[in-house]
Chain A
């Protein structure tokens, strides 16, 4: 890596001060699992790197009325957290898929989201669960719905003097279940060719809320809104699932790249949407 200054703030306030002064030339590092490879490739060349590992505030998971996840909670912590059971299982599932164990012990949910790769695994479940991003800046805190957090490939709503500090996941209600699945050529050390998170909330045998979020088929994670609408208010039958799976393709605008072709990605959107909806239904009814 090229040389840089390293700052080691001990608390959030000091960190925000640094960002206020030097945010434009700075990068935050938590797990480093996306940042360091990009710095080693020369894609990113920050003059300043700000280490978050000394800031306790961003490292906690709380399950009360809804879920609060500190931005620097690691993927491994999420993978094994007892707080992420039941309706929140898809978050743990997505975290469990990141890289390898050696990477998951470092990688953070905040880093995964702020790096904002189209393939970010932890984004679709958080979008499907309607999480909110809590952002700290010079003027205090603000909240942005997860679905609006991403603005383009590797781009988010964060200004250079802001940082993501927490995710707030509202309680999804009784009888809600979800799943995150992705397709990769290998079982480990891999990256999503397509990822799908489905979340269904059921009442009286009908779907009251459906959320389907897709990764790796657009510049940002996207919601398959046509598919969602086709399910809401209906009984979730296999036919309804199949119809939704087909409609989900409409939300996908994939590209051909070294990981997959447009044709294959659209095909996978259908397959993974079908599979995650089927499991989401089972989990919602459990």
Chain B
């Protein structure tokens, strides 16, 4: 089965076609979960724990139940099938006897109006016995810390499956510290010897707080049971099949009694991969026999969502004076909150094997704390990891007076080089991306630009960084149908969160041989679509695109076989041009696609309907690299940063739809800049979130940003459809390091803690951290 095909002469792959759902979106007609009307709709609200760690002594719901307009009040004892020890966050539907993070759901209400539901929550009386929480991961990982998980809870590695799928060696001896839920260690060579022989040893600790994915549409779900015992969930989700499986497992319902309809998703970025609100809403709908809607408030999202983990990386490198790499030692602590869910492997790969370190010792720990548990956020753990290694590499170059691009290029891996786990790097464009950004006039003219800082007292700096993502894999399926008018219908179950549907249509068009205008993609729900995985991991185009390509080729083959029989010619002599299958060189001897399509649907016809199908699994990852460059000004008195210019270079293998690719690059970059400059969930010592609103959880506005320049590089992925790689994740990775490097260039201060807020910058200058 061939994979890389040349583009036929149709309007297909490589064309910037606006998304077909644009008109519905700009008129406000597209429906999200909260927009869906339902007769007899009830509104759900959850009572959440005000303590980070406590025993539940008693819950009295009698007053709440008596409030007129309240239709159900539930606690854990009302829900059968709840596992006593919740193995994952989704299983912790309502707390049974203990709460392990502030904001954990303890009771649920369904009422006629949201206001009544809110008042009902006030009437629920819960008695807690407050316990000391473990909040700081560095303390939580020590023996004697207040335990978070019930003993014996497995590390939940389902996140890893969605993302990088890197096999990693487990550590030999389990730690006695009760809150270390995953650990790993990777070694190569003799780092001690390497350090001893180094001329320059640099040791720094990099810290990145938990950040929220920041999707504009909060988690939302509408649940309804029919009288046949079938549950329908309209969900804002990145994976309807995953949601179905999780809800089935949590509530003990067979999967074929659940239908998950993926409604237009108002942003996910990894935060809507795992089930969260669906189970409790389903139970409320079952108990009340009414449709129930639950929409999280923004406050609930920030306090009790599933953010990206806090990451602390202690990094030490040894290098010779001439820039030869000698040794690397790293300890990564990932704070996963109250349930395990972090992707540990990614960090090791990029710390130890983005550059060719001859020896290393890399230890990773996932630590549990009494905080909301984490889920993925667009390239999980990669922005934090690249912040560390790319800040560090820049600093080494600076200390040794080496050109920072040449230094990187000299040691950057190439395809075939070993990753930390010994597996070879797949084909990738890391070097091409780095050299492309180094050619940019903003980089070449950086010294002059910095020197030309105006009289406004601000200091100028230019910085860049490189980062990558291994690319996810997940089995999938697709079908391609020929309609009786010669148009194509493509069916997948893949939620379109990044504009992938138009790209899939373009792939089908190019693979089959018709213009994209004739192709319509339908995203089916779990009842009708072929099984598929998450819209995450930068794998939709890479995997679903491949499935669509194969299904389209299958449909083309079937079409040609039917045409060959009709035309009494050999399949090899046929071509498809302008909707007609003809014998090559004999344009009058042909049959239109419409004719073939109609024949496959006529009463008593002997011609089968064309139905192409593919259901592939994948083994080969396709890493995607991105580099970003920032030109900025710093007000040395207030620490305010103004980004004047920002450039994103990214290897996408093949830009199926350049317009869509640019949008991904720009959107990811702004999330990356938010991590760099303004975002962070701030918890106090009691485990309480001190910034539970968008006023204090700061996402960047249009006024904070310049135009973002995008440069697409294409190093084809051998197994990608038309050479395409996943696009979504690489652009969120490099900015924190690029900004840190630019700030250092501007002020001399090397910041190692995110976000690099004006306060941190100003005080670094005041306190002379030059």
Contacts and interface: CB of A to CB of B under 8 A. Distances in A.
Contacts of A260: 759
Contacts of A258: 682, 690-691, 696
Given A187-B704, A189-B701, A258-B690, A3 B116 contact: yes
Interface string A261-279: 1011001100100000000
A64 interface: no
Interface in A56-87: none
Interface string A2-40: 110000000000000000000000000000000001001
B686 to A, nearest CB: 14
Nearest to A194: B638
A209 interface: no
Contact of B758 (A40, A183, A263): A183
B411 interface: no
A1 B763 contact: no
Contact of B701 (A186, A191, A264): A186
A260 B116 CA distance: 37
A2 B701 contact: no
Nearest to B642: A187
A259 interface: yes
B217 interface: no
A185 B701 contact: no
Interface centre among B116, B118, B637, B638 (most CB of A within 10 A): B638
B763 A2 contact: no
A259 B696 CA distance: 7
Contacts of B299: 41
B698 to A, nearest CB: 5
B704 A186 contact: yes
Interface in B737-760: 757-759
Interface in B683-726: 690-691, 693-696, 698, 700-701, 703-704
B678 interface: yes
Contact of B698 (A41, A42, A190, A271): A190
A264 B759 CA distance: 6
Given A190-B698, A258-B682, A3 B115 contact: yes
B205 to A, nearest CB: 20
A257 interface: yes
B703 A185 contact: no
A191 B695 contact: yes
Nearest to B760: A264
A188 interface: yes
Contact of A2 (B115, B638, B640, B704): B115
Interface in B633-651: 637-638, 640
Given A3-B116, A263-B763, A264-B759, A187 B695 contact: no
B703 A264 contact: no
Interface in A171-187: 183, 185-187
A2 B118 contact: yes
Contacts of A267: 762-763, 766
Contacts of B695: 189-191
A283 to B, nearest CB: 19
A185 B757 contact: yes
Nearest to B118: A2
A187 B759 contact: no
A261 B759 contact: yes
A2 B682 CA distance: 28
Contacts of A2: 115, 118-119, 122
A259 B758 CA distance: 11
Interface residues on A, range: 20 to 34
A125 to B, nearest CB: 20
Contacts of B637: 271
B678 A185 contact: yes
A1 B678 contact: no
A187 B762 contact: no
A187 B757 contact: no
B455 to A, nearest CB: 15
B500 to A, nearest CB: 31
A41 B297 CA distance: 10
Contacts of A193: 759
Given A258-B696, A264-B759, A187 B115 contact: no
A282 to B, nearest CB: 16
Contact of A185 (B297, B690, B698, B766): B698
Given A41-B299, A261-B759, A187 B703 contact: yes
A189 to B, nearest CB: 6
A181 to B, nearest CB: 10
A237 B685 CA distance: 47
B452 to A, nearest CB: 24
Given A41-B299, A188-B701, A264 B115 contact: no
Contacts of B122: 2, 42
Given A2-B119, A271-B638, A186 B762 contact: no
Contacts of B704: 186-188
A164 B759 CA distance: 36
Contacts of A1: 115, 118
Contacts of B119: 2-3
Interface in A240-268: 257-261, 263-264, 267-268
Interface string B654-698: 000000000000000000000001100010000000110111101
A263 B119 CA distance: 42
Given A2-B119, A2-B122, A264-B763, A183 B691 contact: no
B638 A268 contact: yes
Contacts of B757: 185
Nearest to A100: B701
B716 to A, nearest CB: 40
A202 to B, nearest CB: 25
B697 to A, nearest CB: 10
Interface in B109-151: 115-116, 118-119, 122
B638 A187 contact: no
Contacts of A264: 759, 762-763
B195 to A, nearest CB: 36
Interface in B254-271: none
A180 to B, nearest CB: 15
A188 B118 contact: no
B39 to A, nearest CB: 23
Contacts of B115: 1-3
A183 B637 CA distance: 11
A214 B762 CA distance: 20
Contacts of A271: 637-638
Contact of A186 (B638, B693, B700): B700
A261 B766 CA distance: 14
A257 B758 contact: no
Contacts of A189: 694-695, 701
B678 A186 contact: yes
B723 to A, nearest CB: 40
Interface string A201-221: 000000000000000000000
A183 B638 contact: yes
A186 B698 contact: yes
**Which 7 A-B pairs give the minimum distances between C-beta atoms?**
A187-B703, A258-B690, A264-B759, A271-B637, A188-B701, A188-B703, A258-B691
29 contacts: A2-B122, A3-B115, A3-B116, A3-B119, A40-B297, A41-B299, A183-B640, A185-B677, A185-B678, A185-B698, A185-B758, A186-B698, A186-B701, A186-B703, A186-B704, A187-B701, A187-B704, A188-B704, A189-B694, A189-B695, A193-B759, A258-B691, A259-B696, A260-B759, A261-B759, A263-B763, A267-B762, A267-B763, A271-B638
Interface of A: 1-3, 37, 40-42, 183, 185-191, 193, 257-261, 263-264, 267-268, 271
Given A183-B640, A185-B640, 11 more contacts: A2-B118, A3-B115, A3-B116, A185-B757, A186-B678, A186-B698, A186-B700, A186-B701, A186-B704, A188-B704, A261-B763
Interface of B: 115-116, 118-119, 122, 297, 299, 637-638, 640, 677-678, 682, 690-691, 693-696, 698, 700-701, 703-704, 757-759, 762-763, 766
